[in-house]
Amino acid sequence: MSELVTTSHDGPVAVVTIERPERRNAVDSATASALADAIEDADADPTVSVLVLTGAGRSFCAGADLQALAAGDRADLSAGSGATGRGPMGPTRLRTAKPVVAAIEGPAVAGGLELALWADLRVAASDATFGVYCRRFGVPLVDLGTVRLPRLIGHSRAMDLILTGRGIDGVEAERIGLVNRVTEPGEALTTAVLLAHDLAALPQTCLRNDRASAIEQWDLSWDDATAREWQLGVETITSGETLDGAARFSSGSGRHGAAATPPISPSP
């Protein structure tokens, strides 16, 4: 059997690919496990700064493999009951230390939509398709789709998609805030990798700590979120990265929105 999930490297960018194009990259239990393993391995790799998640061929992910489900393939329903760890689609409850960019061509529907929502940023082709297509089959959103979608695009728009199950293209997805970048068909992965390299070139301690604060604040009260932001900010400052940045700014680098010179000692 060929690999269900592969990982390739482009410098500091790891591209994790679901390799089931014949099933539009639908995820069965074995693929979910392989995908979570690949994400965890890339996140732990000290040479990797940013992850890109995509699907082979012209599909991102058509959701859970319902044919496999009908044939007896069963996910461990208890595994996804907690707030962290793995979900039925694989990595949807993992909190990576590094940013994840989803590169979306074709369908990102049902559980595939939930995988896209799990990423920090989404780059989609204009003709990509997003939708809660599982609505018509009585398959619930159990990979945090009902949680992340309202938080990303607002309750009213999320209810439209969740209740109707209608599909939208990449253009509408960008208009309502579901997608961050729209590309010509066939260009989503190239654009996502370029975006990942842009992120990888930035001071990594500051980027990761600010990202962590923005994610963790959803779980915290205002006072606790304020304290956590301060804690992570002080950690960044004491790392030496802020002083290095101030020195580069003083030397004329990165002013007025221009690209800054790379940090003297990039974070691992």
Question: HSE (CB half, 13 Å, CA atoms) of 155?
Answer: 0
The burial of 94, by beta-carbon neighbours within 10 Å (0-12 exposed, 13-18 middle, 19 or more buried), is given as middle
Q: Over range 142-157, report the average pLDDT.
A: 97
Q: Select the more confidently predicted residue: 262 or 142.
A: 142
pLDDT of 267 reads 45
Within 10 angstroms of residue 172's Cβ, the number of other Cβ atoms is: 14
Question: HSE (CB half, 13 Å, CA atoms) of 109?
Answer: 23
- Torsions phi, psi of 86, nearest 5? -105, 150
The whole-angstrom separation of Cα 148 and Cα 118 is 8
Of the candidates 148, 25, 31, which has an alpha carbon nearest to the alpha carbon of residue 95? Answer: 148
CB-based contact 106:59 (threshold 8 Å):
yes
Q: Over range 111-138, report the average pLDDT.
A: 97
Q: Looking at the predicted structure, is the pLDDT value of residue 225 above 70? A: yes
Q: Which residue has the tokens 């390739």?
A: 8
**Prediction pTM value:** 0.92
pLDDT confidence band for 263 (50 / 70 / 90): low
In this structure, of 136-150, 194-208, 253-267, the range with the lowest mean pLDDT score is 253-267
Mean pLDDT of the chain: 92
The model's pLDDT over 16-69, given as tens digits with 9 standing for 90+, comes to: 999 999 999 999 999 999 999 999 999 999 999 999 999 999 999 999 988 888
The model's pLDDT over 55-68, given as tens digits with 9 standing for 90+, comes to: 999 999 999 988 88
* 3-class DSSP string for 211-250: HHHHHHHHHCCHHHHHHHHHHHHHHHHHCCHHHHHHHHHH
Within 10 angstroms of residue 32's Cβ, the number of other Cβ atoms is: 29
